[in-house]
Amino acid sequence: MDQRQSARDAEGLDQMLLENYALISASHEQQNIGRLADALVYQRRLHANLQSIVSAVAASDAPVGLDPDSSADARDATMAARDAQRLASAAAPDAPRVPTAPPLPAPPPQALPGAGQWLQPPLAAAPPPLLPPPQHQQQPPPQQPLPPQQPQHQQQQQQPPIAPAWLAGVNMSVSGLLSTLGLPEYQPLFEEHRIDMAALELLSRDDLRGLGLPLGAVVKIEAALREQRRARGGGGGGGGGG
């Protein structure tokens, strides 16, 4: 009975040793091609087999189930098992591990509208800006309001009498009238066209402008002629038309 059990145990050890050789070869092959995770699996299985073999050998006082003719093979298998155990013990704890990517962080929950206003701490109020010290400046005196300016066309219509009052009722020449009005520079123009006082009173504003007189000089001459006619009682003549 004991011999049959020992034979079965020896057969199981032989199969386990063969499996260990295969595991060692597979582990080296996986390491060479870079598949470290698979190599680590083989090494762990090898380590478990070797522990089982050591436990079985230690439980028996003599080599179990070995044929006397194959004692040399048993010794070689035992030595190989011990070497494989040392190899697996040295490789299994320090076996490299395949780096794995860290787990992706869970996406934050979608913030509800207006929720951030309650979650955020209140911001500190910014200090008021530093203002420069007030500089005492002399303020200019208040200006007197200017009188409203009348439109230009109203100024032209309101023509105050330019000629002095002593011209009323005085019969004078064209040269005297121009000198009195401060327009002596236009006397050669009237002499060139042979215009006397009688002809001057018959000229309209357009006629005077046609002679080359500026509008200001024409207005002065018309005002002076108007004063003379008023002094004479509104006597005829068409001057000042236009």
Q: Across the chain, how many H-helices and E-strands are there?
A: 10, 0
If pLDDT is split at 50, 70 and 90, which confidence band does 169 have? Answer: very low
Q: Are 239 and 200 in contact (CB under 8 A)?
A: yes
Q: What is the pLDDT of residues 59-118, one digit of tens each?
A: 765 454 445 455 566 566 667 666 656 655 555 444 445 444 555 566 555 554 554 444
The H-assigned helical ranges of 60-171 are 71-91, 115-119, 152-157
Instruction: Please state the φ and ψ torsions of residue 53, each to the nearest 5 degrees.
Output: -65, -45
- For residues 203 and 208, give the distance between their C-alpha atoms in angstroms, rounded to a whole number: 7
Least confident of 16-20, 42-46, 121-125: 121-125
Could you give the dihedral angle defined by the CA atoms of residues 54, 60, 65 and 70, in that order, rounded to the nearest 10 degrees? 70
Q: How far from 199 is each of 204, 208, 233, 237, CA to CA, in Å?
A: 10, 11, 19, 9
Q: What pLDDT was estimated at residue 150?
A: 57
Q: What is the pLDDT of residues 129-158, one digit of tens each?
A: 666 666 656 666 666 667 666 555 554 555
Three-class DSSP category at 142: coil
| pTM: predicted TM-score of the whole model, two decimal places | 0.29
Identify the residue with better confidence: 111 or 214.
214
Neighbour count for residue 192 (Cβ, 10 Å): 9
Q: Are 71 and 63 in contact (CB under 8 A)?
A: yes
Q: Helices 71-91 and 2-32: crossing angle, nearest 10°? A: 40
Q: What pLDDT was estimated at residue 52?
A: 80
3-state secondary structure 148-197: CCCCHHHHHHCCCCCCCHHHCCCCCCHHHHHHHCCCHHHHHHHHHCCCCH
User: What is the CATH code of the structural domain delimited by 157-231?
Assistant: 1.10.150.50
Annotated domain spans of the chain: 2-91, 157-231
Instruction: Give the amino acid at 100.
Output: T
